[in-house]
Chain A
Amino acid sequence: MVEPLTKTKETGQVYARPPEIEEEIACALKLGIDEILTRAVIRDSRVDGYMSSECMVYLIRRDAKSSTHKLVNELTPLLLKRCETNLYSKVTGFREPTLQEVHEEILGRLVELLVDGGNRADYFEIRFNDAFKCLRCEVCTYYQRHDDVSGSIEDKTDLDGDNDGGNIDDLHCEIDYDKVPSSLTQEDAVYLKQVLSDLTDMERNIFILHKQGGIPINSKFSGVTNLVNLLGISERTVRNHLRNAEAKLAALKEADNE
């Protein structure tokens, strides 16, 4: 019998796995260890016999409660292998050795969640990719905050004064408060990746939230989400951080073109 999840939503309703996952788990419970491992090796979901990561998580967590841990020891590395590929493409923007440490921390936290006996890993049995994305982002934001002392999001130091380090000419031009910027181009993304570790936490977050998330710097209408409200800093400071990030990106592009 497939054990139900216990994690509840804000409303008190218990989370449920998608029916196809429930079905897959029920079938997997009838398989022997060798067959489970053979299926878990398949990485392409279109191939017959492919086992979903959600199902693997269920089997690992179930086995962690047993005394042998045979499946835990053999199935977990296969799940980690799937995650490893994802990590290398998604997690960037840290200098070595921090990058390596971030990768280790993400996988370390994942395995601890799987075997700690609590229900925090329930999310991984519902939509593994989303849950893993959440874990990845959680760890990355933690490291961003602790790795970058100069411009942490908690650092509300205004860049209004002399230390803004950027061109303030356009502060006097008319501000298009509710302007929603267009998404970054592929070229921008390539340069951004290279310059990421040179940006402070604040520069990076403001740049991404504004340029990629479309969150306006400020708004003349109260109640509209904007960076000034979200970050609790002045519009001028937001603009200066943004300008600093753009300047670093432009410098890289220029150097590349020369």
Chain B
Amino acid sequence: MNSAQHNEIKLHDVLHEFVMAVERPDANSLEEFVKKYPQFSAELTNFTAEWLLQDLLSENDTSEKNVASGALISKAMSRLQNKLYEVGRTEANREQETNSNVNPFEGCQPAELKKIARSLGIDTTIMAKLKNGRIEGEIPTKLCDGFAKAFDVPLQVIKEIFSGPAIIQAQASFKSHAKPEVVTKETFEEAVRRSTLGDDEKEKWLN
């Protein structure tokens, strides 16, 4: 929110406070509020004039009003629908943003993941096991840091994903008669030994 928006909301609140505190504005009540909110002196003055005018004219209004305009309400309802749509979209975007914050692996293309794995010195099987929570025990901080930097997210987010409940790939479920479960987890050391990394690369992680 920029300062102009903040100022507008503040003014909105001040005007509501004024209306709620005063039955009919006069010099004293206006003075009180102008002293309290000198930054809105002009707005309070204009507002008071409008308020007095509306009260005066409606007090003396004896004419019959011809209120049969469905168009006014239709237009307002149209604005309402637009606002609902806008609010719905904002919320959906926020939700999407939150979800992507929770798991930066989601929505990341396989080629990109492969590239990140290579740059961090692991293969895609280790990466898959890490992101699916299939590795228990200690995971090198250097590796977690590398992921955090690669995805530009806090280290904590990566640690939470790696230590979260094990996930089974959706594609695997069709082979099972019952809901599949991850029975065993492996340590990072075991994952490295079972990976397709070369001996030198394995040695680097194991030492």
Contact = CB atoms under 8 A, between A and B. Distances in A.
A138 B67 CA distance: 23
B65 to A, nearest CB: 5
Nearest to A209: B49
A126 B17 CA distance: 12
Interface in B22-61: 25-28, 30-31, 34, 41-43, 45-54, 56-61
B48 A213 contact: yes
A89 B65 contact: yes
A180 B31 CA distance: 15
Interface stretch (B80-88, B102-110, B116-124, B163-171): B80-88
B46 A141 contact: yes
Given A69-B84, A72-B84, A116-B87, A137 B75 contact: no
Given A64-B84, A209-B45, A214-B27, A134 B15 contact: yes
Contact of B20 (A85, A116, A126, A186): A126
Q: How large is the interface on A (under 10, 10 to 19, 20 to 34, 35 or more residues)?
A: 35 or more
B19 interface: yes
20 contacts: A72-B80, A77-B77, A84-B73, A85-B67, A88-B67, A90-B54, A93-B57, A104-B76, A111-B77, A111-B83, A115-B80, A126-B20, A134-B16, A144-B46, A144-B50, A153-B46, A180-B27, A208-B52, A209-B45, A225-B28
Q: Which secondary structure dominates where chain A touches chain B? A: helix
B69 interface: yes
B contact face: mostly helix, strand, loop, or mixed: helix
Contacts of A193: 57, 60
B49 A205 contact: yes
A138 B17 contact: no
Contacts of A180: 27
Contacts of B87: 64, 115-117
Task: Determine the interface band of chain B, counting residues with CB < 8 A from chain A.
Answer: 35 or more
Interface of A: 7, 9-10, 64, 69, 72-73, 76-77, 80-81, 84-85, 88-93, 100, 103-104, 107-108, 110-112, 114-117, 120, 123, 126-127, 130-131, 133-134, 136-138, 140-141, 144-145, 153-154, 180, 184, 186, 189-190, 192-193, 196, 204-205, 208-209, 212-216, 224-226, 230-231
